[in-house]
Amino acid sequence: MSSIRLKIVTPEKLILEEDVYSVTLPAESGEITVLPDHIPYIGSIRSGEIFFRREANAEPERLATSGGFVELHGNVLSVLADTAERAEEIDIERAEEAKKKAEELKSQRSLLDGEEYARVAASLEKEFARLRVARKHRSKGGFIAPGQ
């Protein structure tokens, strides 16, 4: 059976490099799933959840990302992410605190210029993604479909 070589890199470090069966990404145009022998693809990804399966029927492994770019050529999928965290590495309490701070700042929109507001909104989106991924990872009861 064919596989995809998945490589996820952030400015700080290599997060993951291994062979997988499938990868689902939060592309700007909508969620996409890549299987072996997919057509070439280059695009941007938004804050959200990346999940991959090592085998067709395996439980998905999850990562939270705050955006970046993706390139697929042959069966090599490279993700250049602004940030990427494995679900088990996310501290839910810290993520909740960061989300609350971002929500408070966002509520003061009239005090923020356009650039500051965009930064706060992006931070809030990132924290929502981190919490969603961490909670899915910790849930009992198996697979939870993306977006639930």
Q: How high does pLDDT run on average in the chain? A: 83
- Domain assignment present for residue 145? The answer is no
Can you tell me the distance from the alpha carbon of 12 to that of 132, in angstroms, rounded to the nearest whole number?
Answer: 23
Task: Say if CB 79 and CB 50 are below 8 A apart.
Answer: yes
- Tell me the residue range of the domain where 38 lies: 4-86
- Domain assignment present for residue 48? The answer is yes
pLDDT digits (tens, 9 = 90+) for 47-68: 989 999 999 999 899 898 989 9
pLDDT at 93: 78
- Domain assignment present for residue 67? The answer is yes
Task: Say if CB 31 and CB 45 are below 8 A apart.
Answer: no
Tell me, yes or no, whether 74 and 128 share the same domain. no
Tell me, yes or no, whether 9 and 67 share the same domain. yes
Tell me, yes or no, whether 51 and 109 share the same domain. no
Tell me, yes or no, whether 79 and 101 share the same domain. no
Tell me, yes or no, whether 41 and 82 share the same domain. yes
Tell me, yes or no, whether 18 and 69 share the same domain. yes
Place of tokens 């770019």: 69
Tell me, yes or no, whether 18 and 81 share the same domain. yes
Domain count, the chain: 2
Tell me, yes or no, whether 12 and 54 share the same domain. yes
Tell me, yes or no, whether 35 and 80 share the same domain. yes
SS3 131: helix
pTM of full prediction above 0.85: no
Can you tell me the distance from the alpha carbon of 57 to that of 43, in angstroms, rounded to the nearest whole number?
Answer: 27
What are the distances in angstroms from CA 129 to CA 19, 79, 103, 114, 125?
Answer: 25, 17, 14, 23, 6
Among residues of the chain, what percentage have pLDDT more than 70?
Answer: 84
- Domain assignment present for residue 147? The answer is no
SS3 79: strand
Can you tell me the distance from the alpha carbon of 107 to that of 16, in angstroms, rounded to the nearest whole number?
Answer: 36
- Domain assignment present for residue 126? The answer is yes
Among residues of the chain, what percentage have pLDDT more than 90?
Answer: 47
* More confidently predicted of 3 and 112: 3
Please give the average per-residue pLDDT across 77-85, as a whole number: 94
pLDDT at 99: 74
Tell me, yes or no, whether 10 and 53 share the same domain. yes
Tell me, yes or no, whether 26 and 80 share the same domain. yes
